[in-house]
Structure 1
């Protein structure tokens, strides 16, 4: 079919974590329940890390961030969900949304169902699925063969890791595999390369689902420089090579990047290179510009 638009698609799936995935989902929120995010759950920093050290469980912070960015009707519920404690006490720095999600998990509610309870409360139509409902940490092997545990430590690495893995190895959330199989369009990124994008590809079933899908797959590049010194050294071609090494097949059909990105050595893929920055925060994607760039991808390769 020629000239497909986003509005024609039955299922769009976005993979990632944190601010980047939330931004993509808010740019596509008009798709409503046809939009699903699969979210990394290995964060061990900030409020999320403190909760995990005290109580265990998956990392809720990136899921909460995505929910925050999908709220379109401000309410007491949304103000409560976004509330962050101030001051110097034990609750200082904690986000109430993280604590609400953790409380539901402690009540033996499936993590996916916990998210759905809050989606309904916040009137969010798009779906969010944790990559796994079992807790795991990201582990890297550094250039000397030493193991580096946890996202916050991995983000400080100066040399690219030789290998990444999850500890322990965990299963993908069943629904994540299902939606990848149903997808018309799959988006990866933007986000911290090693700690927001790569964790999803370390789950064998997710990598296999991405190998098998006939969906159009698009990589969305970051606008700002990566905070991780190791990730900041990677070119676009490097990132695509690493992603596809872990997926096990050449699957990425198109890239959406800013004009500043070096696209040398990126071959046999559609390259959409245009200004994508938001007017207020230059390293965040403008929602309408990103939406338009994805429309351009669909019209060019459908």
Structure 2
């Protein structure tokens, strides 16, 4: 189909939400790119970062998992999670494989591409940065909180988000954004998946300067908890636009109409999976994005 070969789509986020979106964009092949958040410090990823350092691999692994179309020994290895009572308990083999490649001084993007080739994943997956950094937030009381898991658990509202330390964006991610016909933010945890890549100046500038691209915000279906759950839809859009140097979001794609979003072009569609109402349906997402590109 000409659409898949003539249009380039870039999605930004992390974890389950971005993986879901990239699975919906699978037909675009190498014309689809995911820019993945690399600041996670929880679960297996957090334990690996504590003892080995490096970027967070968990969200990248999750995206690759959702793009695997042909089950194989390789894919079962990559998805395998250790169980038991020892130190390996809870660790995902995919995380350990990517960490091992990192420790062998393989460039993180080259490590991802090696795994993609092994698992026949055509969609591009790029880390937001190839340098380790953590998310930190300033609360309304003036206290700085560091680490994604701690930010998610904050009882006070946020004034701002930062990355510590400041790191450069992956060059290929910036180029992908400059060439994109459509840039998608979300779905996913707003503060800890969608926002971190936008805190990188090179990524924010690339989004701002690509005025030909349609900038789309995909709303979550499930309610978020913590400080993100206390934000209104309008506040989330304002945070994205402020991070992107006042670049206006062109389309808000969601299931519910919000009266306070009158200044944005909101498209309301049924996007939920028929068996899990809190999760986006891949085919419905695919059709919605393709409709925007055709328009």
TM-score, length-scaled by structure 1: 0.94
Cα deviation, residue 16, structure 1: 0.3
Structure 2 contact 169–200 (Cα < 8 Å) conserved: yes
Counterpart check, 1:219 vs 2:217: yes
Name the residue aligned to 2:54. 57
Name the residue aligned to 1:13. 10
- SS in structure 2 at match of 1:93: coil
- SS in structure 1 at match of 2:261: coil
State the Cα deviation string for residues 54-104 of structure 1 (Å, max 9, x = none). 100000000000000000011000000000001111100000000000000
Counterpart check, 1:247 vs 2:240: no
Structure 1 contact 5–295 (Cα < 8 Å) conserved: no
Name the residue aligned to 1:34. 31
The separation in 2 between residues aligned to 1:159 and 1:40, in whole angstroms, is: 24
The separation in 1 between residues aligned to 2:236 and 2:291, in whole angstroms, is: 22
163-172 or 249-258: bigger deviation: 249-258
Aligned with 2:68 (options 67, 71, 75): 71
Aligned with 2:260 (options 265, 268, 293): 265
The separation in 1 between residues aligned to 2:272 and 2:293, in whole angstroms, is: 21
TM-score, length-scaled by structure 2: 0.96
Cα deviation, residue 251, structure 1: 2.6
Residues 1:9 and 1:219: Cα distance change in structure 2 (over 3 Å): farther
State the Cα deviation string for residues 164-202 of structure 1 (Å, max 9, x = none). 100000000010110100101111000111100111111
168-177 or 262-271: bigger deviation: 262-271
Over aligned residues, Cα RMSD in angstroms? 1.4
Aligned with 2:285 (options 276, 281, 290): 290
- SS in structure 1 at match of 2:259: coil
How many residues of Structure 1 are paired with residues of Structure 2 in the alignment?
294
Structure 2 contact 64–121 (Cα < 8 Å) conserved: yes
Name the residue aligned to 1:100. 97
